[in-house]
Amino acid sequence: MVLNKEYALTLDRQDELRRFRDEFYLPKGKWYMDGNSLGLLSKRAESTLVKSLEDWKLYGIDGWMNGAYPWFHLSEQVGAKLSGIIGARPEEVVAASSTTVNLHQLVSTFYKPSGVKTKILADELTFPSDIYALQSQLMLKGYDYESELIQVKSDDGLTLSEETIISHMTEEVALILLPSVLYRSGQLLDMQRLTKEAHRRGIIIGFDLCHSIGAVPHELSDWGVDFAFWCNYKYLNGGPGSTAGLYVNQRHAGIRPGLSGWFGSEKSKQFDMKHTFTPSPSAGAYQIGTPHVFSTAPLIGSLELFEEAGIDRVRSKSLQLTRFMMDLIRQELMNFGFTIGNPFEDERRGGHVALQHKEAARVCKSLKEMGVIPDFRSPDVIRLAPAALYTSFTDVYETIAVLKGIMQEKHYEQYENIREVIA
């Protein structure tokens, strides 16, 4: 089969989700392939943000209980909307804080070293912020993170072996934290298997869903995952600085969070102003402070789109888009020194393609000048993320055509092969 523009147009005509493209503000004259770093603004998200501002304007302090989106229960209500995307019960999810704050909250709650069980198991490829947080939590407990934080090694610098991870689940491990999808390579880990193996050994396990939520369906409750956290500004298009989310399995309901704050109170008692903390029986207990209303409001509109599209259809198109992109890369680019660093199997691939090249940093600069918005990750990865709700198959075709032209003309050679300040 010849992969050309006509074939891309045929795929677009067959696309069940094509109507959602009109819901977004697409950069004019550009091909946006960075939805795994920051999703685009939708008209629905804009509308719900404006309505929330109107609530403040019209009601003042009474916005806590009045208006289109009353603030008092906002975090729990948005959490309930998020629950369907990750396969959780509504009471197990809350929209709150930022990604790393939620990680600190969860580790401070579930990391309970005792006897020989003192170590935290992570991996060497995870996002740096997660490691910084784990190091901090170990230090706060009086441990040396050099010895107590185990980071599973990668054989190829891009992917992890589940067998290797499981082999490190020893009797010394008190807690495990892993990414659902590796941020560089896009590898999707088998969360169900890893959870089962951790629990067989009596180990608490949690996942960072930042690079899977909104692109990959999850079944966290059925899998028995203990906790998870994520940002909402990538595939979920919640906007820069969007309020993050967290999940805690209901079997842990009622325990006191490691970091307590007044918005984690049981709602009927919150304004009693007593100095006795009564935690909410839901994941709402893990809130620390007042909801970030205007950082949460765009999510309401964005999640409406996901409810209409359905996460299974989103996943199906995402896999089609990345498969089409990989096929085009193999057809058009392999003679220019590129390799594909992400897994090829659908069940092992998240929502982006990891394209490797020794000149990756300067190629990314060239792509931007030519109208393609990519993402660079050191040392040599160009991440291309066609987001299912607003990326067309023609966008993917044009992206690879632009990249081929850049390589043919050596357009990238005018740039230094070093990253920008924001990579």
Q: What is the separation, in whole angstroms, between the first and last Cα of the chain?
A: 36
Q: What is the DSSP letter of 70?
A: -
233 is in an annotated binding site: yes
128 is in an annotated binding site: yes
168 is in an annotated binding site: no
Residue 384's nearest CA partner among 324, 307, 297, 301 is 324
Both structure tokens of 332: 């058009």
What are the φ/ψ torsions at residue 260 (nearest 5 degrees)?
A: -95, 140
To the nearest 10°, report the CA torsion of 154, 358, 132, 37.
Answer: -110
118 is in an annotated binding site: no
Pairing state between β 245-248 and 227-230: antiparallel
Q: How far apart are CA 39 and CA 375, in angstroms?
A: 13
Determine the residue type at 286.
Y
Burial 278-307 (b: 16+ CB within 10 A, else e): bbbebbbbbbbeebbbebbbbbbbbbbbbe
Q: How far apart are CA 181 and CA 228, in angstroms?
A: 13
130 is in an annotated binding site: yes
Pairing state between β 353-356 and 31-32: unpaired
Both structure tokens of 378: 């050191």
132 is in an annotated binding site: no
What are the φ/ψ torsions at residue 101 (nearest 5 degrees)?
A: -60, -40
Using DSSP's 3-state secondary structure scheme, residue 174 falls into strand
Q: Which single residue is written with the structure tokens 């357009």?
A: 411
275 is in an annotated binding site: no
Q: How far apart are CA 118 and CA 175, in angstroms?
A: 8
56 is in an annotated binding site: no
Q: How far apart are CA 294 and CA 77, in angstroms?
A: 15
Q: Which residues are bridge partners to 94 per DSSP?
A: 246
C-beta of residue 226 within 8 angstroms of C-beta of residue 207: no
Q: Which single residue is written with the structure tokens 């990959």?
A: 216
- Angle, CA of 140, 145 and 148, to the nearest 5°: 110
Q: How far apart are CA 20 and CA 389, in angstroms?
A: 6
100 is in an annotated binding site: yes
**Binding site, residues?**
99-100, 127-130, 208, 211, 233, 262, 290
**Binding site for pyridoxal 5'-phosphate, residues?**
99-100, 127-130, 208, 211, 233, 262, 290
